[in-house]
Amino acid sequence: MPEDSTGVLQEKLYTVKEVATSLRRGTDWVRREFRRYSGVIWSGEPRPGKRAYLTLSIPESVLLRWIKEHTIPSPP
């Protein structure tokens, strides 16, 4: 297990629906935006020949990092 994984286990994990509500976006938008974002946790099992049902969990630190990266700084 990577060294930083213990910190992830102690912080709040958000669902796609919770993030969508917080950011006032749709769940599909959140899934596309965070699909390959570093630090997001996917769980579930791929099913060959069928649609994979995977659950997306977004740690609080990852959500805060995303917000910081996508926020326009205020003018001085």
Check: CB of residue 43 under 8 Å from CB of residue 58: no
Average pLDDT of the chain to the nearest whole number: 87
Check: CB of residue 66 under 8 Å from CB of residue 34: yes
Which residues of the chain are under the pLDDT cut of 70?
Answer: 1-9
Q: How many Cα atoms within 13 Å fall on the side-chain side of residue 35? A: 6
Instruction: Count Cβ atoms within 10 A of the Cβ of residue 2 and give its class: 0-12 exposed, 13-18 middle, 19 or more buried.
Output: exposed
SS3 44: coil
Cβ–Cβ contacts within 10 Å for residue 30, how many?
Answer: 22
pLDDT number for residue 27: 95
**pLDDT tens per residue across span 25-39:** 999 999 999 988 999
pLDDT number for residue 44: 86
pLDDT number for residue 50: 82
